[in-house]
């Protein structure tokens, strides 16, 4: 593989690891009086504030988004970040966890279909094989064994989760052609947080819970972790990666979140994984590798990842201009 592609995949994988590493904390918070929507509010609001603080420090004077592009940032933040988490939560409440995960991670298939039939770009056959192996592995990890008829509303919301997740990768790919990764991630997350805070009348937040201890860890500390690492860190790393790798590649790499989350749940929370689940994680990794090999053969990465990463963490006094300008 070319150095630029390897670097982009490495950063994308780090983003998936950051997202997946929040799984144990999310599970602990779910055991409190916080509703699923409350947990999403904590994660998104803290993540948005962390990104805003970083952007004010590193991008002061460069946070402006042209008026013509606000629609893209708004859809990216409100629909693909906030709505995505809400519809997935609804699906999770009406379906077995494995089915909900499998539906949401149809996103790589949707991205590939969009690239093939809407953009009319060639998609390597090996990519489809990799995605199929990935989904088969996910089915094993999630221990899917569904009897009877699935809840129709739950399936609908699961498919909406897949659509909004796919949209995140496609919109990020478009926006990052001209916008700084940190700036786009910041405004997208802030708009998503505003949308979730607006839902407060429908999901009142019990502030007292943050002062409690869960599993020996303060709830507020868990909230900080899922917001700063599992939200802000994951989104900005994903944005950096997508300056280098295509949306098809990024959407597949993101599935590492499930592998990391499952492994950490076993290590930190003592959850026991069956042999089939370990085999499923191995299959998911194999599927991700196959998909990346297919994409590596197709063509070069867009740019080297190092300048993109350095640009994000460079103060505004010595900025690295985004490709294509504004």
Asked if residues 192 and 49 have their Cβ atoms less than 8 Å apart, the reply is no
Structure-block tokens of residue 290: 């196959």
Does 326 fall in a domain? no
> Looking at the domain assignment, is residue 210 inside a domain?
no
Number of domains the chain contains: 1
Chain centroid offset of residue 108 CA: 12
User: What are the pLDDT digits (tens) for 106-141?
Assistant: 899 999 999 989 999 888 888 899 999 998 988 888
CA end-to-end span of the chain: 31
| Residue 34 is assigned to a structural domain of this protein | yes
Mean of pLDDT values over 35-45: 90
Quick check: is 317 in a domain?
Answer: no
Q: SS3 for 315?
A: coil
- Asked whether residue 319 is assigned to any structural domain, the reply reads no
305 is in which domain, residue-wise? 3-205+216-312
Question: Over the stretch 256-280, which tens digit does the pLDDT of each residue have?
Answer: 888 888 888 888 888 787 888 889 8
Classify residue 320: in a domain, yes or no: no
pTM: 0.80
How does pLDDT run across 152-162, given as a tens digit for each residue? Answer: 888 899 899 99
Nearest Cα to 245, choosing from 313, 180, 322, 172? Answer: 172
Is residue 321 situated within a structural domain?
A: no
Name every residue whose Cβ is closer than 8 Å to that of residue 294 and which is 6 or more positions away in sequence: 124, 125, 126, 127, 129, 130
Residues 6+ apart with CB under 8 A from 246: 115, 173, 295, 302
Residue 143 placed within a domain: yes
């Amino acid at each position: 593989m070319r150095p630029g592609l390897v670097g982009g995949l490495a950063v994308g994988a780090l983003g998936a690891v950051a997202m997946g590493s929040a799984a144990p904390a999310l599970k602990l918070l779910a055991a409190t009086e916080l509703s699923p929507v409350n947990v999403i509010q904590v994660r998104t609001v803290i993540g948005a504030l962390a990104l805003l603080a970083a952007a004010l420090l590193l991008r002061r004077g460069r946070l402006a988004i042209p008026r013509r592009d606000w629609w893209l940032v708004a859809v990216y933040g409100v629909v693909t970040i906030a709505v995505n988490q809400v519809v997935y939560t609804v699906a999770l409440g009406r379906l077995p966890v494995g089915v909900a995960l499998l539906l949401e991670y149809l996103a790589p298939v949707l991205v590939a279909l969009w690239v093939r039939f809407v953009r009319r770009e060639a998609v390597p056959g090996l990519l489809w094989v990799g995605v199929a192996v990935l989904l088969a592995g996910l089915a094993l990890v999630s221990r899917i064994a569904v009897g009877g008829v699935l809840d129709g509303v739950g399936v609908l919301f699961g498919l909406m989760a897949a659509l909004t997740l796919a949209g995140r990768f496609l919109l990020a790919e478009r926006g990052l052609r001209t916008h700084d990764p940190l700036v786009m991630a910041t405004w997208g997350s802030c708009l998503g947080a505003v949308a979730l805070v607006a839902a407060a009348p429908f999901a009142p937040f019990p502030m007292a819970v943050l002062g409690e201890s869960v599993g020996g860890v303060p709830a507020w500390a868990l909230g900080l972790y899922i917001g700063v690492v599992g939200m802000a860190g994951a989104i900005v790393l994903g944005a950096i990666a997508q300056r280098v790798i295509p949306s098809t590649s990024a959407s597949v790499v993101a599935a590492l979140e499930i592998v990391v989350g499952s492994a950490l749940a076993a290590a930190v929370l003592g959850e026991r994984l069956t042999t089939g689940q370990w085999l499923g994680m191995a299959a998911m990794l194999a599927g991700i590798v196959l998909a990346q090999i297919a994409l590596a053969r197709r063509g070069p990465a867009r740019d080297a990842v190092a300048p993109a990463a350095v640009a994000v963490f460079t103060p505004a006094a010595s900025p690295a201009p985004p490709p294509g300008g504004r």
